[in-house]
């Protein structure tokens, strides 16, 4: 143990600062760990975790190329179309471009490998409450959080040769329920969504 300390203190100050900064980055804050359970998850494997048969039915114009039991939206009768000013072939298939995860642990991004984020402010941490007497009955409640991602898989994997009309981009977080004031407040939600 003494030799380890001697080696650390022999390092130049720049290296010592880098080692300290790395140790601060690796350590996780206590508040991000609050709540039930651990934040676990895994990255989506585009080969094994995607329902590739869900892309079908495949059609070109009104012609069915690869039928399926899944519904097929109405396609144009002519296979030739314009995407902007560029002519192309009208193909119909289901494109996986969105990804969602659900977690009981606030700020836990399951689809990003179980990544925990500490936002630096106290929001979204209402997770589970024990029994509470409301009207003489014990009730339990739990709060789930949803994260919605952009995930244009076919564009990334370059499965279709022409990308002009495919949704392009990179993985992005589109919605985080922890910062939505309407997510866990029924009264506020009733103002915007009274049907809910």
CA dist., res. 140 & res. 145, Å (int): 17
CB atoms within 10 A of CB 103: 23
**pLDDT given for residue 181 in this prediction:** 85
147 in any annotated domain: yes
CA dist., res. 70 & res. 50, Å (int): 16
10 in any annotated domain: no
Please, which pLDDT band fits residue 193 given cuts at 50, 70 and 90? confident
179 in any annotated domain: yes
pTM here is: 0.64
Is the dihedral angle over the CA atoms 4, 9, 13, 17 positive or is it negative?
A: positive
106 in any annotated domain: yes
CA dist., res. 67 & res. 55, Å (int): 11
**pLDDT given for residue 135 in this prediction:** 58
Query: In the predicted model, is pLDDT for residue 195 greater than 80?
Result: yes
Burial (0-12, 13-18, 19+ Cβ within 10 Å), 80? exposed
**pLDDT given for residue 7 in this prediction:** 44
Condensed to tens digits (0 to 9), the pLDDT of residues 55-110 reads: 899 888 888 888 888 887 777 888 888 877 888 888 888 888 899 999 988 899 99
Residues spanned by the domain of 139? 29-50+96-192
Number of domains in the chain: 1
81 in any annotated domain: no
Q: Which residues of 110-147 are buried (b: 16+ CB within 10 A; e: fewer)?
A: bbbebebeeeeeeebeebeeeeeeeeeeeeeeebebeb
**pLDDT given for residue 8 in this prediction:** 41
Q: Are strands 98-103 and 145-150 parallel, antiparallel or unpaired?
A: antiparallel
Condensed to tens digits (0 to 9), the pLDDT of residues 112-171 reads: 999 998 888 877 776 445 555 555 555 556 678 999 999 888 887 777 766 566 677 788
182 in any annotated domain: yes
Condensed to tens digits (0 to 9), the pLDDT of residues 1-53 reads: 444 444 444 444 444 344 444 443 444 443 444 445 688 999 988 889 888 88
100 in any annotated domain: yes
């Amino acid at each position: 143990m003494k030799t380890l300390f001697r080696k650390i203190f022999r390092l130049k100050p720049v290296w010592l600062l880098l080692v300290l900064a790395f140790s601060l980055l690796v350590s996780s804050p206590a508040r991000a760990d609050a709540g039930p359970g651990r934040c676990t998850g895994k990255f989506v494997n585009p080969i094994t975790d995607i329902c590739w048969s869900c892309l079908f039915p495949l059609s070109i114009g009104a012609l069915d190329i690869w039928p399926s039991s899944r519904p097929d939206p109405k396609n144009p009768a002519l296979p030739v179309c314009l995407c902007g000013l560029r002519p192309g072939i009208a193909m119909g298939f289901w494109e996986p471009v969105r990804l969602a995860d659900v977690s009981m642990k606030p700020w836990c991004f399951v689809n990003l490998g179980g990544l925990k984020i500490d936002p630096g402010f106290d929001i979204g941490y209402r997770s589970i409450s024990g029994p509470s007497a409301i009207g003489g009955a014990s009730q339990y409640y739990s709060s789930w959080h949803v994260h919605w991602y952009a995930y244009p898989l076919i564009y990334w994997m370059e499965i279709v040769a022409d990308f002009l009309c495919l949704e392009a981009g990179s993985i992005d977080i589109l919605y985080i329920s922890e910062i939505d004031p309407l997510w866990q407040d029924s009264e506020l939600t009733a103002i915007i969504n009274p049907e809910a």
